[in-house]
Structure 1
Amino acid sequence: MSVPVLARAGDTVSAGQRQADRRAVRARDRFHRGPGRWIVLAIIVAGAALMLVPFALMLLNAFKSPADYSTNGPLSWPTEFYTKGLTTYWTESDYPLKLWNSTLIAGTVAVAAVLISLLNAYAIGVGRVKGRLWIVALFLLGNMIPQEALVYPLYFLAKEVGLYNTKLVVIIIFTVIQSAFGTYLLASVLGTFPKALLEAAALDGASRWQILWKVVFPIVRPTLSVLLIFFFIWTWNEFFIPLVMLIDNATQTVPVALASLQGDRLMDAPTTNAGALISLIPAVIFFLIFQRTLTRGVTAGAIK
């Protein structure tokens, strides 16, 4: 009776050893996959370095005097640490006010557009309204229309209703634009929502409103988080419509204030670079704060 037991023990040891050997081989293959792996890595690093070149030039010229810039060019190292461009942009453009305007507009648009997108997509994707495909196609078409084609009717309408040169008109315009994209995206997601969950919630006596907030919302929350971040950044960077709609210094946003530094025939390049540096910092901080949320949202959406 003892021999089979020993044989089985030996088989167990040999199987464990084979499994350990396979892990070791996989570990070696993971780090030694030939020159192709290093070529791809080198291409990625080179692409990342090229993307950082404009930011490096901006940082380099933000602390350069106009005389130094005109004499030595944009690629030279600053001969002195020049900070007047930063202070000039901060004071002349009233940057704190522009920062508040941009934050208020972008934040309000992001929250409102996500909420409207969720409600629209819930009605289209889960409610199964008639003509669902045509409605989704209409929202997609609305995203494809360039802003240049929309600006004149929007300008005329804003004048007629008395909202021209107010932050509210920009908030309404971009809420509609962003929610059109959000509705198109979420309607496609909710169109494949498991019917078993909805039927189980309905059998438990949940209303449509309760199904939305207690069943649908927790599942699509990662996607909504991604949309919120994108809507904020997209609205923050908008320039053309705020330039047309906001003509008063008290209502303008950061991109419009940055464009005002450039004259008809003269541009103060160091001050413009300093203004671009200051204007970039809030967006970078926002991205760094919500980077983990963005990563989790994208990963969760990919898994689902």
Structure 2
Amino acid sequence: MTATVHPRHRRDPARHLVLWGLVVLAAVMLVPFAIIVLNALKSPAEYAASGPLSVPDEVYTQGIVDFWQRVDFGVKLLNSLVISGSVAVLAVVVSVLNAYALGIGRIRGRLWVLTLFLIANTLPQEALVYPLYHLFKQVGLYDTRLGVVIVFTIVQAAFGTYLLSSTLSGFPREVLEAARVDGANRWQVLVRIVVPISRPTLGVLLVFFFIWTWNEFLIPLVLLISDENQTVPVALGVLQGQRSMDATTTSASALLGVLPAVVFFLLFQRTLTRGMTVGAIR
């Protein structure tokens, strides 16, 4: 009598292979970050003597302190947090409202509107800088954080609308009809039914919008010229262009620039994972 092998056991070697492949890939991706951390905690003399791959003999934090004071990093960090957080929340709200009208409301010309949002999302930022510069000069939004928030809210909401409209178009009609039979109006249907059910997807968009806006460089570089309004990527780019930092201070700047986004991602990792899992199940 031959023993039967469960299909799950037959797939185990392949699963282990994929798992080890992902571990190797993660390690490769973490190597540059680890090198930055090592060099940020290393003195310039030790860097010159031992090179970038050596482990520091002692923790040297003066490079981080020097960079923080040189660019007034606390102000830049606050600017990035305010702009990225505002854009993430506002873009999600605008995306939900637009997608509710397009995906569930089925407004006239829905396909053309979605095409317009898709085109807006694919426009290169280089094509937007010149018109935005002159427009903001005219309306008094140049060199203001509000102007940058408005720009990126529109840009991110274009992608969010395109994504959510296709998701909400497949929303169960039975649930909507049952809510309307119970006397719920359109606003109550959106707030009490559509948003709670779509919360995992909205959480994923919130995380992505925050990180994407945090990493933006070109438009903030052009629209935010005052030192007190600049974001973290702009401050890093301007200081790097001056070539006034040694290797350890440069590593400290890179570490401080990427660390807030990494912390935000780790804090909302469960939200991101839950949203992707729900999307895969659906």
Q: 1:284 maps to which residue?
A: 262
1 CA distance for matches of 2:8 and 2:88?
47
Displacement of 1:27: 9.4
The corresponding residue for 1:29 is 9
Q: 1:195 aligns with which of 173, 188, 191?
A: 173
Match of 1:272 in 2: 250
In structure 1, the residue matched to 2:18 is: 40
Paired residue for 1:107, among 79, 85, 105? 85
- Shifted more, 163-172 versus 66-75: the winner is 66-75
Q: Report the number of matched residues.
A: 280
Query: 1:154 aligns to what?
Result: 132
Q: Tell me: CA distance 1:206–1:38, structure 2 relative to 1, closer, same or farther (3 Å).
A: closer
In 2, are the aligned partners of 1:261 and 1:272 still within 8 Å (CA)? no
Cα deviation, 1:179-218, whole Å, max 9, x if unaligned, reads 0000000000111112222222222221111111112111
Alignment TM-score, normalising by the size of structure 2:
0.92
Distance 1:29 1:187 in 2: 41
CA distance in 2, matches of 1:228, 1:121: 15
Distance 2:12 2:105 in 1: 50
Using the alignment, how far apart are the partners of 1:71 and 1:147 within structure 2? 43
Residue 237 (structure 1) aligns with? 215
Overall identity of the aligned pairs, in %: 61
SS of residue matched to 1:248: coil
**Residues 150-205 of structure 1: per-residue CA shift (max 9 Å, x gap):** 11111111111111111001100000000000000000011111222222222222
Aligned counterpart for 1:214 among listed residues 192, 195, 201: 192
Amino acid at match of 2:279: G
Q: Which protein shows a greater Rg?
A: 1
Question: Which residue, out of 23, 32, 38, partners 1:60?
Answer: 38
Please report how far the alpha carbon of residue 64 of structure 1 lies from its aligned counterpart in structure 2 after TM superposition: 2.3
> For the structure 1 residues 39 and 164, does the alpha-carbon distance in structure 2 shift closer, same or farther, using more than 3 Å as the test?
same
Task: Give CA deviations for 1:48-93 in whole Å, capped at 9, x if unaligned.
Answer: 1110111011011112233443454323333553222101111111
Q: 2:98 aligns with which of 120, 126, 137?
A: 120
Question: What residue ranges of structure 1 are gaps of 5+ in the alignment?
Answer: 1-20
CA distance in 2, matches of 1:66, 1:170: 37
Q: TM-score, normalised by structure 1?
A: 0.85
Residue deviations 1:262-300, cap 9 Å, x none? 134554221111122122222222122211111111111
Name the CA distance, whole Å, in 1 between partners of 2:200 and 2:18.
31
Which of 201, 205, 211 pairs up with 2:183? 205
What one-letter code is carried by the residue in structure 2 that aligns with 1:107?
Answer: G
Q: Give the one of 31, 53, 66 matched to 1:88.
A: 66
Aligned Cα root-mean-square deviation (Å): 2.1
CA distance in structure 1 between the aligned counterparts of 2:166 and 2:191, rounded to whole angstroms: 18
**Closer, same or farther in 2 for the Cα pair 1:43/1:303, shift >3 Å?**
closer
Asked whether the equivalents of residues 63 and 83 of structure 1 are also in contact (C-alpha less than 8 Å), the reply is yes
Q: 1:77 is matched with which residue? A: 55
Give, as a single letter, the amino acid of the residue that structure 1 aligns with 2:67.
Answer: Y
